[in-house]
Amino acid sequence: MFDLHMHTTWSDGKNTPEEMVQEAIRRGLETVGISDHSSGDPDGMTLEQSPAYRAEIARLKEKYAGKIRVLCGLERDFLTDDFAEYDYTIGSVHWLRMPDGELMSVDWSAEKLREGAEKYFGGDFYALAEAYYETEARVVEVTKCDIIGHFDLVTKFLEANPFFDTGHPRYVKAWRQAADALLETGKPFEVNFGAMSRGYRTGPYPSAEIRNYLRARGGRLLLSSDAHAKENIAYGFGTFRETENLMETWN
């Protein structure tokens, strides 16, 4: 079993990389990947911090060899300028750059999302979603990632704040166009439990409808906790039952 998406005190996590590795060992994982946020994300590391981060994960690889396989990853934001060599990268869109040069977060808070929709899209949440998926469609091209992160992150707050209808034709068209573009890359999509473990959602990203669409078109899926604390490593893995096309190993 492996979990490749987790954050530490190097970005916005609560525990050190070593504490995360120790907990992964306790939980019986065979492979653990630390994937802190990159530059380009206000929650991420700076370029100057990146070498020390890689050195720390290298130290843990050596220290815990024989107990667990430790990988040095990076959640590479669409706006990053960190293209150093990592064992793997997760490509994600957390922010949209607006015409005035400002950044608009799609997952900071429900209130920030509403403010962004009002300020930049005239209150049209479907236009916001379309802009998000137009960016998401290019996440592999721009980030050169190995894994596609939380594909429908724009829906993070939707259960408690129904800003838009995920069945609306404009929304469906937007995510399908992005999914089709990313399916052509052959990169796997993560099934991400991060919003569930923090109480924002009752199901993982992407939605069941999107997962079914991806699987029907040959898309590959892998489980990911997106843990920001050691207690959430491998969160949801044991109860997830939609196992078709789930990746079982990470080479």
pLDDT digit string, tens, across residues 66-106: 999 999 999 999 999 999 999 999 999 999 999 999 999 99
Q: What is the pLDDT of residues 159-196, one digit of tens each?
A: 999 999 999 999 999 999 999 999 999 999 999 999 99
The whole-model pTM stands at 0.96
| pLDDT-derived band at 249, boundaries 50, 70, 90 | confident
Structure tokens at 164: 């838009």
Rounded-to-integer distance, Cα 229 and Cα 54, Å:
20
Backbone angles phi, psi at 26, to 5 degrees: -60, -35
Give the H or E element holding residue 124. none
Give the chain's domains with CATH numbers. 2-239 (3.20.20.140)
| pLDDT-derived band at 242, boundaries 50, 70, 90 | confident
CA distances from 152 to 9, 149, 195 (A): 26, 9, 11
User: Quick check: 73 and 90 in contact, CB under 8 A?
Assistant: yes
Neighbour-count burial for 164-184, b at 16+ CB within 10 Å, e otherwise: bebeeeebeebbeebbebbbe
Residue 75 β-bridge partners: 37, 90
